Amino acid sequence: MILILEGSLGCNRNCKYCYQKILHGGGTFNYDKEAIAKTVRFLYREYKDDIVLHGGEPLLLPLQDIEYFLKLSYELSGKSAICTNGLLIDEAKIKLFKKYKTSVAISIDGFHPQNILRCTKQETQKTLENISILADEGIDLCLMIVAHKLNYNYILDFITKMSKIVQVFKVNHEHLTSYAISPPTLALLWKKLAKLQFIPSGMVVDPIYSFLSTLRGDGSECFNSLCDPFCTERAKRILPDGRVANCSVLPIQTLYTFKPSYKRYYILEKRDCKGCKFWNFCYGGCAAYFYHKDKYCYAFYKIYEYLTDLLNIKAEFKEVFSHENNIRDISPEFV
């Protein structure tokens, strides 16, 4: 995934758990469009990754610059994508979405008051109205939901009701602040989401869909694949001056290195994850935990246990890294 301008823009909200606040730069809009475009073209030529216009809040950009970036993506890949809180959507932006085949991911944690960590009651209603408008206009939609202490009991109800107009849902989990849910709670939530995913309705519920893709060998998301913490090749962030940096989920900000090291996975395979039958599906979870396994290891184990039993898939530990000297020379099938 290529994230354009992630962290270089301001935002019109102040979400309580936002991990990007330190990157918002006071809401400045100083960026070099040509330098960014040059980098995007290079990365797309090399990797054919998805291109996503991200923020802060990207719809704070001048309309002509929103079009510039959506058009750039469309010319390269035949499509475009944007992540937004949905409050600033209007007729002019919808025209751009249609013109450049834009997939719109809207961040919303549920109905009021479950969305209170993001928006007021009135703002939540405005976001819901804009979601309905986009759906009526035939825009490709995804709802991005963060599971936290105030909403995890209501997420299934929200998805079920919203599935009448939206088919794709991505449920992340808050893990950095006091609003974080516990690993056992997340495991229960994922199991409930799995039951939703198996309803024959055409609905896509992530991360369950991603877990199933991993089990079937059809690919994986960044949080359960090999991803060097100092490189994060699965999530590249383009800075305002066109340089490439690592994923902003990490507590460090480093420039992307293009030559990843898999030292993290050598260490985890010999230590934290040694012998785990789901090692080759999980790889210790998000690289943000560096040389330790993911804080939510328990939840990963439980959901993989549930899904493999359901699908009658045999899982067993297989060593990937034979010796430390080869941590930079792993076969492409493991990347």
Query: With helix as H, strand as E and coil as C, how does the chain read?
Result: CEEECCCCCCCCCCCCCCCCHHHCHHHCCCCCHHHHHHHHHHHHHHHCCCEEECCCCHHHCCHHHHHHHHHHHHHHHCCEEEEECCCCCCHHHHHHHHHCCEEEEEECCCCCCCCCCCCCHHHHHHHHHHHHHHHHCCCEEEEEEEECCCCCCCHHHHHHHHCCCCCEEEEEECCCCCCCCCHHHHHHHHHHHHHHHCCCCCCEEECHHHHHHHHCCCCCCHHHCCCCCCCCCCCEEECCCCCEECCCCCCCCCECCCCCCCHHHHHHHHCCCCCCCCHHHHCCCCHHHCCCCCCCHHHHHHHHHHHHHHHCCCCCCCCCCCCHHHCCCCCHHHC
Q: What is the pLDDT of residues 199-235, one digit of tens each?
A: 888 899 999 999 999 998 887 788 888 888 777 877 8
Is the predicted pLDDT of residue 41 greater than 80, yes or no? yes
Q: Tell me the pLDDT band of 27, cut-offs 50, 70 and 90.
A: low
Per-residue pLDDT tens digits for 236-263: 888 888 888 888 776 556 666 667 778 8
Percent of the chain exceeding pLDDT 70 equals: 89
The overall average pLDDT reported for the chain is 88
Q: Report all structural domains of the chain as residue ranges with CATH numbers, in order of start.
A: 2-181+227-238 (3.20.20.70), 261-328 (no CATH)
pLDDT at 331 over 50: no
